A = this chain, B = another copy of it.
Amino acid sequence: MSKNYIIAQSGGPTVAINASLVGIVEKLKEAPNTGKIYGSLHGIQGVLKKELVDLSTYDNTLLTKIKYSPAMYLGSCRFRLPGNRDNEDTYKNIFSVFEELDIDTFFYIGGNDSMDTVLKLNAYAQNNHIDIRIIGVPKTIDNDLLVTDHTPGFGSAAKYVASTFREIAYDTHIYDLQSVTIVEVMGRDSGWLTAAAALARNSYNAAPQLIYLPEVPFSTSDFLEDVKRAMDSYQNIVIAVSEGIRDKDGHYIAAGVSESDQFGHSQLSGAGKVLEYLVKERLHVKVRSVEINILQRAAAHLSSLTDINEAYELGGAAAGYSFEKLSGIMTVLKRKDTKSYETEISYVDVSQVANKAKYVPSSMINDMGNDITNDMLEYLSPLVIGQVPVEYADGIVDYAPFLY
């Protein structure tokens, strides 16, 4: 008897989440008794609305193109499942679709919010003795999932961030004038991605000279001292700051600015912008700020091959665990304790991951709280290795066509 599957993607975009999708699809297609492989549009919402496509009919050329495409081929959602008791109807609707389509396994690719959905659906299935598997596959550029050594999407974002810092270093290096450039990197609560800016350094480039993570309480006076000290050694300073830096009372630096524009609204400026004006006012030096913004999660042309391959394999492994009848799990990467970088794939009960977050440990942050340590460099370095094939159409980066 043939088995049917549903795959959905959720949360914020990364460039690796489609590799996991294709990893699942290709592994399922290998199994002799695979029937339909449904892709659910816009996360779990596509199940509720029965907006599904059959991915088992996709040929290898299209699947490979999807593998290297940014964001979510199937679309995403920010829908959070209500607690079981709050709204059992939602669960009944979801599981009636699963039953109607004779679904063997539901795969959900996402971050810690999405793993909450995996947890709840699995609990509902167990409590109601429904024979179905619910399996999570991780992704997030923030790298803030527990248990797994790192998350798919992070290595590519890190490669983009480090490459961009290196290019910015060239840009800032040209003038024979003291200058400060503050670059804001994504990461509301965890500083993994901001730390990756350090990979821009090499034998001749010391930028970024300073790195500030949200794990360290931010002090504007210490910051100004740091910048002054760096200006004694370098003419052009580049500073990496996480969007989520906060002062010792937990107030976002980014939220410190309230602005009233010509239309009478107040608005928020990012942390980088706030620090730009602080440096300008206090240090009277040429300064500018750059927000890398969504480019760091969308620039698939600079994906890390290591990252994309791992994302693909974590997807395939999820399909394998489905064949083994496992449920309520998320696939994880374990780093082997070897000199050269090697990983093995395993899984974890999703309750250990859902709604939790992994922060940068103090061993990876220097004592002054304005840089990372060698431990962090050793952790990060293997994750950005290797380039993906990039296609161009009429000179512009080219990816899989939109599905909808």
Contact = CB atoms under 8 A, between A and B. Distances in A.
Contacts of A71: 170-171, 173-174
Nearest to A9: B174
Contact of A176 (B77, B267, B302): B77
Interface stretch (A53-61, A86-94, A122-130, A255-263): A255-263
Contacts of A293: 290-291
A174 to B, nearest CB: 4
A396 B75 contact: no
Contacts of A261: 256-259, 269, 274, 277
A13 B171 contact: yes
User: Which residue, of A261, A269, A280, A402, has the highest number of chain B Cβ atoms within 10 A?
Assistant: A261
A74 to B, nearest CB: 9
A338 to B, nearest CB: 18
Contact of A170 (B13, B256, B273, B395): B13
Copies of this chain in the oligomer: 2
A72 interface: yes
Contact of A171 (B70, B200, B390): B70
B294 A290 contact: yes
Contacts of A402: 173, 204-205
B294 A168 contact: yes
A75 B170 contact: no
A324 interface: no
B263 A168 contact: no
A171 B395 contact: no
B396 A386 contact: no
A388 to B, nearest CB: 12
A233 interface: no
User: Which residue, of A167, A258, A280, A304, has the highest number of chain B Cβ atoms within 10 A?
Assistant: A167
B297 A171 contact: yes
Nearest to A51: B176
A387 B387 CA distance: 15
Contacts of A175: 42, 75-78
A290 B184 CA distance: 12
Contacts of A204: 401-402
A1 interface: no
22 contacts: A13-B170, A42-B175, A69-B170, A70-B171, A71-B171, A75-B173, A164-B295, A170-B298, A171-B298, A199-B394, A204-B402, A256-B261, A257-B259, A258-B261, A259-B267, A261-B274, A262-B274, A290-B295, A291-B291, A291-B293, A301-B302, A306-B395
The 3 tightest CB contacts between A and B, nearest first, are A259-B259, A384-B395, A257-B261
Interface of A: 13, 41-42, 45, 69-72, 75-78, 159, 162-164, 166-168, 170-171, 173-176, 199-200, 202-205, 256-263, 265, 267, 269, 273-274, 277-278, 280-281, 288, 290-295, 297-302, 304, 306, 381, 384-387, 390, 392-399, 401-402
